[in-house]
Every structure is written in C-alpha cells, then in structure tokens.
Amino acid sequence: MRARSVGVIVTVALGAAACATAGAAGLDDGADGAARATVASRLAQYGADARARLAPAFEAAGVAYPPAAVTLLAIKDEARIEVWVPGPDGDGTLRLVRDYPVMAASGEAGPKLREGDGQVPEGVYAIDWFNPNSAYHLSMHVDYPNAFDRAHAEADGRTDLGGAIMIHGSDVSIGCLAMGDPAIEELFTLVADTGLARSRIIIVPTDLRVRPAPAVAGAPAWTAELYALLAEAVAPLRAEAPRAVTGREALAPPRHAVYVEALGKGGYWGLGYEYRLSPRLFAGVAVSATWIADERFLSLSPYVGAELARRGRHGWFMQLGPQLVHHVVESPVPEWEGERTTDAGYQLTTGWEVRFARRWFARTSLSVVIGRDDVVPWGGVAIGARP
C-alpha cells in the first residue's frame, strides 16, 4: 500500500510565543534574519491589499477612510477585537466598522500585575509604536503599564510589572493578542494611516456594555475602580447600525488550498485540495498515482488534521485519514488476465510547512500507512498555493 503526504492550513495556539517577556529587543523583534524593514516599506508591501480588504467595512459603516481616530475594543472572554471610528456627522458618535477574532491570548479575567503572570492587561492604553520586523509578521505596542497601572503598583509595593505587550500576527501568544497575519496587516495599516496619536485600545475582561464586571478571585481591591473606569470608557461604543463586517467573514489564511506532491521511492505524483473549517481545523483530499513496469497504483486519501505549532512562516503539522489504493497488474501473456485489487488502510502523517511569497507554501512530510497486512513508512514533498 502506498502512502501520501499531508497538507495543513490551520493553527493551534500552544502558547509558545513568550510575548509578555519579549521586550523591544526580544522575541518580537527579528524576523527570519531578513533585512530590516521600516513601517513605510511594510505599508508598501501590505498596505494596498489591506486597504482593499478594509474598504467594504468602511463603506458599509458610511465612514471615509482613513478615519479621524481609531478605538480598538478587546474583549478577553470573547476573544474578539472590535474596531470603532468616529461617525461621518462629527457629533462625537462612534461607528463599529469591523471585528476580528483573537487567534491566541493567555491568562484570564483580571489585570496584569507582574512580569511572567501570563495576563493580558486590562485598561485604556495608547498604541505607541510599530514593529515592522516582528517575528510574528507585524506588531504594534500597547503602552502597558500606563499611569493607572504604575500608580497602583507603587501603592501595592510591586516593582516588576512586565511589559512588551503587543498586538501581532501569527497565532501563538503569552500575554499578547495574536490576530493572525492578514488581520494584523489590516490593523497595522489602519493605525498607521490614522496615526498613532489618534489610536488607542481598551482591553476589558468581558463586554461591560451588556454584562456586569466579573468577580475575580484574588484580584486587588482597586480592580473594582478599574472596572468602573472601563465601563465608562466603553459606554460610547454602542452600535445602532450598520452591522460590522467581521474578520470571521474573511478568515485567513484563505479557506481553500491546492497543491501537487511527490511521494516515496516509487514515484507517486498527486494532486490535493484542502478546506479550512475553522481557525483550528482543516479537511482535505488527495489523489495520487504511479506506474511501475506493468503495475499501476491509484490512491484516494481524505484527511483531517491540525497544525501543532507555528513560528513565523514555519509550521509543524499532523493529519490522519483513511486511504484507498487500487492496484492493477497488467498481464504480459494472453494466458493470464492480470490482477486488480483494492485495499484500505489508515495514514498518519506529520511534517513541516514553509510559507513564502504571500500565498505559496512548500511542505515535507513523513507518513505511516497501516494496511491490512503491513505498515509502510513514506516520505513526501509538496508545493501549493492558497488562491
């Protein structure tokens, strides 16, 4: 029985990115050893596509782009960021233009208190600088600790408050907000076009517009004061209409992927298709074939799987699925009609993927096929695109 390689296009956030301890010269600063980029060069690279993706949301909200100001509202228990901008009437009302799923974040309800606690901070923060060379595609810095955080830390006698809180791409994080690469391209471009001085983020434990503040076990006494201030800050963020265009409606990487692959020593060639079911699940099918002397093999392999870890453009994946193999042996003599058989088995594959040139990817994989009579290891390589 012949095996086949795997394709994977989704991610599972394992908390491998130590954002909260990265700092300006730490894990979030150098990307793939490439030449140092600037904000301007990243906008030249990603800005046009990001603005085109944002345009329908601003048109639906009736707001010109770029807006006069931007408020991001991060709701921790919903893993969601809303984008609010001033309305067209100049009367101080705000319009909801878009929302995005947060692909990964750590911690729970409650403010960040110290370095290494894994908490996403809660409060009203400026977005004060960009990192165009992030190891997580692109990133923006949240100015935690702010004056409120520092004042209460001093009163509590706390000194090591932590920092380097980023809004970034990819989908792994500890203490930061990982948005996925296409979402951070849009947010990075939006904030850059609007201006850092006119951009801010409000981070709340729950949606304080519709729910009371949570009771956080072990939280300091001043948490009630913080939540009262946050409830006041989010009160103007109420949508009358129109409905926001959501990040989930344009979930990326793109849902569809196609690839070609070469498998094993026998010279299998295959075509595959994958579909992203959710940010953490995918399904696909591949058809592979080979000819060896008078023998022909044709395999059909549906599969499901997940990406176990990702760092920048590199990802480790695993998938599992059944495999059907049709085997034809042509007869070299008239006295024998030849042989045709169909076997079924299961295939477990693990491998490595590298993304390049925006929508292209390459993979190498190792599979184990468990058949009726044998267990066969199999290697493969593939190249594909996400249209």
Residues 108-138 have pLDDT tens digits of 898 999 888 888 999 999 999 999 999 899 9
Residues 280 and 168 in one domain: no
Residues 173 and 266 in one domain: no
pLDDT tens digits along 17-43: 345 333 343 334 444 445 789 999 999
The catalytic site residues sit at 168, 176
Domain end residue (candidates: 197, 215, 249): 249
Let me know if residue 263 belongs to a domain.
Answer: yes
CATH number of the CATH domain containing 43: 2.40.440.10
Residues 309 and 170 in one domain: no
Let me know if residue 20 belongs to a domain.
Answer: no
Range of the domain at 90: 31-249
8-state DSSP, 158: -
Rounded Cα distance between 112 and 380, Å, is: 46
- For the entire predicted model, the pTM comes to 0.62
Let me know if residue 115 belongs to a domain.
Answer: yes
User: Which of 31-45, 46-60, 212-226 bottoms out in mean pLDDT, i.e. has the lowest?
Assistant: 31-45
Let me know if residue 369 belongs to a domain.
Answer: yes
pLDDT tens digits along 168-217: 998 777 778 999 899 999 999 999 999 999 999 999 999 999 999 988 88
